[in-house]
Structure 1
């Protein structure tokens, strides 16, 4: 089987988890005998040196003729059975879907963020969830300047969504949309994507770390130190948790402020800054628990899976996809967002009831293996590809979906 896998990489100065997921999925398919054809664009190649070039980029963001022509030629040359898209912004654009349709290739689109229904892409404003534009006019986005805080930049994003709605791109060109959670799928349906073509598949880890012992005696936070990540709530809660050390891994605009809060309050908090993955994984494996205090809608954070792979339970906000991902008492506990007292209470309960308990950590790890291993992900991906080809075949004759045997990456 041939799969055309497409992705627009973010800037190397601001890498995204989407880039990692794309690479992992590409490796997973190739390891299981699928011939993968790559179509990739890179934001590092974007030239925004003049106003005219920025305007041209904005105008092409809705529909790129260059992408349509390049992808059409690639399809004719390679004859893929299906095309699977990850990020299409800003260079690939929905014109890529049209190239596939016009050449008889079924389309799968993974929805890593809310860009097709929200000009700001995150359903977030001023660090908090916002759904003003969902299922309605996009005018609030212009009023609030939701993309980069700039009116013209926001106008370009509004135009991209509006133009593709009018063109019918979202409703007619994609055979299967893949949301990361049921919560996200619900937001997309409310925003106008076709209910019957939405399915759910979370992220996975290609090379999960080994189980950890949880013997470090500390809690850990791994992520960006910014408003929407709930880091102020995190430190406020630690005023009530002085007997539990907290390690904070990551950097961001609030780092200096948080360090000052911890210093003034004499909190048991250690700021480790950015660390490479090979250093973070052992830290997670030794932690009693991981805290994810986000006050925005998260997609499907890879840090959650990395914690679970090490057997480490998660204390997460009861908000958006996190509320769905974390199973109470099975893989962690949940607390009321932006509530330091409730967060402190849930951390203390988890430490008191399960802190470092071998059997509980084994259960967390086993749940990861059952649902988020490479084997589990590939099985579900095959089903989604079959569904997309079946949907496409209703209007076009397609070759039958080939049977694929798992190989290369063993099931746990």
Structure 2
């Protein structure tokens, strides 16, 4: 722990730890955005990344051991702590190379730890509460998530699912989640309540959403058509989108993204499939769109695409479940439909096409929502608040023998 009095200076020393994915996703983007934001606010940031590309060449046994407890990560984190002397450590993804062993390393060095709960991995080995294209909560609240192993929920592998389940069970038994993580960040109230239901301590879970830096006011003219942005996969509801597009006029919805269902999307959408695009092109297309389609089959955490749409003044047509039911205010910032119901999605899109003025007003409300809740400035204040609470919590807990007690 740094010898500086944390309360005497607004500047913090933050060590960010993240296990990057082989296919870059939303979590990687959040890590990058929050790192840049903290530096812009004058904080010192040390970014420690392990990458899943390093999994290649490892034996299954070695990878399973890393998933449960990584001695390499403990050594590397302690070296970063000794060199950087952080006030707080912010952990994002730990699977599989970093592992929850880093929480113990931080505790042994007396540094508070904040963990962002980007997905539901601690409650569901598959991480999204999805099985066979539908929401499944069979493992929620179970000490042994056996249904996930039986159904091979993670990567369609009983072995890999078992390794993830064993990791969660091991650290539940060791008290890692209860005693070695100082504070958690949930992305919205729906997610917070799920984690409380799953056994995490309610008093230590803060809500902080994702954000985007898009302060330029959008244009309200020449809005036309819908757009889908994201991974082309079952959990994102793309099968529902494909079915809906078959009943709609050509180019009613343009599709930006790539993934396992790419061939099916291309076959149905034709020229309306634009492939994967960089962020600046995504924002440019959103700024011309009348609505965003977010048909997720799974429980989302907090899709950055939704915040990007709100920032661009675009209302969202989304599945009526999970966090989306909380984040999209029906009739004010968008429309909701029953998840997996392609006919209901078609009905929403047709209504949007027939009522452009109403959608424009929803887009203005969406922009107002962004300005009130999802700007970089507001997010920086929330993040700093979580860090300072974690620092204060650790000081109190060390005195009382609670969190981080050895």
Give the TM-score normalised by structure 1.
Answer: 0.88
Q: Equivalent of 1:228, from 235, 254, 260?
A: 235
Q: How far did 1:156 drift?
A: 1.1
Secondary structure of 1:394 counterpart? helix
CA distance in 2, matches of 1:392, 1:200: 19
Superposition deviation, residue 262 in structure 1: 5.3
Out of 88, 104, 117, the residue aligned to residue 98 of structure 1 is: 104
Secondary structure in 1 matching 2:68: coil
Residue 17 of structure 2 corresponds to 6
Secondary structure in structure 2 of the residue aligned to 1:213: coil
Are positions 1:145 and 2:152 aligned together? yes
- 2-structure distance, mates of 1:374, 1:309: 11
Name the counterpart of 1:325: 327
Indicate which of 35, 40, 47 corresponds to 2:44.
Answer: 35
Is the contact made by 1:217 and 1:245 (CA closer than 8 Å) also made in structure 2? no
Q: How many pairs were matched up?
A: 387
* Alignment pair present for 1:66 and 2:75: no
Q: Matches of 1:79 and 1:252 in 2, distance apart?
A: 41
**Conserved in 2, the CA contact under 8 Å of 1:179 and 1:202?**
yes
Q: 1:214 to 1:309 in 2, by over 3 A?
A: farther
CA-CA distance at 1:255 after TM superposition: 2.9
Give RMSD over aligned pairs. Answer: 2.1
How far did residue 354 of structure 1 move?
A: 4.4
The normalised TM-score by structure 2 is 0.89
Partner of 2:90, secondary structure, is strand
Q: Tell me which residue corresponds to 2:27.
A: 18
Say if 2:251 and 2:269, in contact at 8 Å, map to a contact too. no
Residue 108 (structure 1) aligned with residue 114 (structure 2): yes
CA contact (8 A) 1:118 1:134 kept: yes
Q: Which residue of 374, 377, 380 corresponds with 1:375?
A: 377
- Taking a change above 3 Å as real, the CA distance of residues 34 and 46 of structure 1, as seen in their structure-2 partners, is same
8 Å Cα contact 2:315-2:359 kept in structure 1: no
* Offset of residue 58 of structure 1: 0.8
Residue 248 (structure 1) aligned to one of 255, 262, 275? 255
Q: Separation in 1 of the partners of 2:65 and 2:304? A: 33
From the superposition, tell whether residues 240 and 153 of structure 1 become closer, same or farther in structure 2 (CA, over 3 Å): closer
Against the structure 1 CA distance between its residues 208 and 255, is the aligned structure 2 distance closer, same or farther, given a 3 Å change threshold? Answer: farther
Structure 1 residue 243, shift from structure 2 partner: 8.2
Q: Any stretches of 5+ residues in structure 2 without a counterpart?
A: 1-11, 400-406
CA distance in 2, matches of 1:185, 1:90: 24
SS at match of 1:227: coil
Q: Residues of 2 paired with 1:306 and 1:171: CA distance?
A: 34
CA distance in 2, matches of 1:8, 1:255: 26
1:391-406 mapped onto 2 (5 Å cutoff): 391-396=393-398
Aligned mates of 1:378, 1:392 — CA distance in 2:
21
Deviation (angstroms), 1:312: 0.9
Query: Which one of 98, 117, 120 corresponds to residue 123 of structure 2?
Result: 117
Matched, 1:181 2:188: yes
Matched residue, 2:3: none
> Mean alpha-carbon deviation: is it higher for 108-117 or for 228-237?
228-237
**Could you say which residue in structure 2 is the equivalent of 1:44?**
53
